[in-house]
């Protein structure tokens, strides 16, 4: 069955690449890898810049609030297309700031489908090797290797916060309480002070009501339980103000919490030299302030964290 599905995937990869090439919010080419059940498509020539540079964690373009809002909605629309309108459905698996390219009109283009997975028909998830970028990985995927569309929803929630705040999700050069953007945002949300995290470079030139809504949507998207996260079409409607963010928002899933749990379990079991799990990085490093280290690990290794 696996070999048959790989052949089907190869066929669908070509069809989907041609389909997504016509969508406003994708940058793709026909450069596929026939030996992989994934899409591999990146085209940097049609874009003028990426959302954030990979080094400093900030774009050198000063985005207005209107531009940020348009970028958020555009990326969400692109993911909704992958998740709901393409058959088989696609999970991108590596939604992050550096994979959002901007054209000369600052229209967002989702790029780099090298880690994307097709979801076979009539399946709720696929079990796969964990791959993606540290800081954007949904905890249930990072821990158990179970991939669903809600993993992309989680990544989008982190990206949404980055766009609103103008900073990357992890910056170890900041004070401890500010290093992890999602944790910092949750703390401010509990105190009713979320607007204080909006990018200071905007001054007062932003829509406070919309910014507050976007932050709440980001927290809804990053909730610990995948079933509580909305679908991407629902996210698009909330971003546009067509539906309310009226659900109860629970604590986001934080990979740092899960690593700490593993350490405590090791210590309780009397294991010596208990230490947090370190991901194998392909680009960057776990301590990088840019938060762009890419993690690859097998499902069995990931399961040890659970």
pLDDT above 50: residue 66: yes
pLDDT above 70: residue 7: no
Query: Could you tell me the sign of the dihedral formed by the alpha carbons of 59, 65, 71, 76, in that order?
Result: positive
Query: Which of helix, strand or coil describes residue 225?
Result: coil
Report the residue count for the chain.
306
Mark residue 256 as left, alpha or beta (left: phi above 0; alpha: psi -120 to 50; beta: remaining).
alpha
Range scoring the smallest mean pLDDT among 98-112, 148-162, 180-194, 292-306 = 292-306
pLDDT of residue 26: 56
Which domains, and CATH codes, for the chain? Answer: 47-303 (1.10.510.10)
Distance CA 93, CA 152 (A): 6
* C-alpha pair distances (Å), 196 with each of 82, 187, 200, 204, 215: 33, 11, 8, 11, 11
pLDDT above 50: residue 128: yes
- The whole-number average pLDDT for the span 242-256 is 88
Mean model confidence pLDDT for the chain: 76
Prediction pTM value? 0.77
**Residue 252 dihedral angles phi and psi, to the nearest 5°:** -70, 155
pLDDT of residue 113: 85
Q: Which of 94, 112, 152, 199 is catalytic?
A: 94
Site of tokens 């992958």 = 82
With beta carbons less than 8 A apart as the criterion, state whether 206 and 165 touch.
no
With beta carbons less than 8 A apart as the criterion, state whether 297 and 130 touch.
yes
pLDDT above 60: residue 293: no
Condensed to tens digits (0 to 9), the pLDDT of residues 204-237 reads 999 999 999 999 999 999 999 999 999 999 999 9
pLDDT of residue 187: 95
Rg, Å, the chain Cα set: 19
pLDDT of residue 126: 85
pLDDT above 50: residue 278: no
Site of tokens 């993993």 = 151
Distance CA 92, CA 129 (A): 14
pLDDT above 70: residue 54: no
Is 271 or 74 the better-scoring residue by pLDDT?
Answer: 74
pLDDT of residue 169: 92
DSSP string, 34-91: TTSSS------TT-SEESS-TTTSS-SS---HHHHHHHHHHHHHHHHIIIIISSSEEE
pLDDT above 90: residue 160: yes
- The whole-number average pLDDT for the span 266-285 is 45
pLDDT > 70 fraction of the chain, expressed in percent and rounded: 63
pLDDT above 90: residue 246: no
Q: Which range, 45-59, 133-147, 228-242, is most confident?
A: 228-242
CB-based burial label for 237 (10 Å; 0-12, 13-18, 19+): middle
Query: Which of helix, strand or coil describes residue 229?
Result: coil
208: tokens are 């406070």
With beta carbons less than 8 A apart as the criterion, state whether 115 and 59 touch.
no
Distance CA 191, CA 199 (A): 19
For the chain, strand residue ranges (E) read 49-50, 89-91, 100-102, 108-110, 117-119, 126-127, 130-133, 146-147, 294-297
- Residue 207 annotated in active site: no
Range scoring the smallest mean pLDDT among 36-50, 122-136, 257-271 = 36-50
pLDDT of residue 165: 95
CA 117 to chain centre: 14
């Amino acid at each position: 069955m696996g070999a048959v599905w790989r052949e089907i995937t190869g066929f669908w990869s070509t069809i989907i690449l041609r389909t997504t090439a016509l969508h406003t919010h994708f940058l793709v080419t026909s450069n596929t890898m026939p030996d992989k059940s994934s899409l591999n498509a990146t085209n940097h020539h049609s874009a003028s810049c990426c959302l954030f540079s990979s080094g400093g964690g900030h774009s050198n373009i000063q985005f207005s609030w209107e531009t940020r809002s348009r970028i958020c909605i555009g990326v969400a629309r692109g993911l909704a297309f992958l998740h709901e309108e393409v058959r088989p459905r696609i999970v991108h698996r590596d939604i992050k700031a550096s994979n959002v390219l901007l054209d000369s009109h600052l229209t967002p283009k989702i790029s780099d489908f090298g880690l994307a997975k097709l979801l076979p028909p009539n399946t709720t998830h696929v079990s796969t090797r964990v791959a993606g970028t540290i800081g954007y990985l949904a905890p249930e995927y990072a821990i158990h290797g179970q991939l669903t569309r809600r993993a992309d929803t989680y990544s989008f929630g982190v990206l949404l916060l980055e766009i609103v705040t103008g900073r990357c999700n992890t910056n170890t050069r900041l004070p401890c309480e500010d290093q992890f953007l999602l944790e910092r945002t949750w703390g401010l949300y509990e105190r009713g002070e979320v607007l204080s995290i909006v990018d200071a470079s905007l001054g007062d030139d932003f829509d406070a009501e919309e910014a507050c809504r976007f932050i709440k949507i980001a927290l809804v998207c990053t909730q610990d339980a995948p079933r509580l996260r909305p679908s991407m079409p629902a996210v698009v409607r909330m971003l546009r103000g067509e539906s309310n963010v009226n659900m109860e928002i629970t604590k986001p899933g934080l990979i740092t919490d899960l690593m700490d749990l593993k350490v405590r379990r090791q210590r309780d079991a009397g294991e010596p030299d208990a230490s947090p799990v370190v991901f194998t990085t392909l680009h960057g490093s776990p301590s990088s302030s840019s938060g762009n280290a890419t993690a690859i690990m097998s499902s069995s290794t990931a399961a040890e964290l659970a």
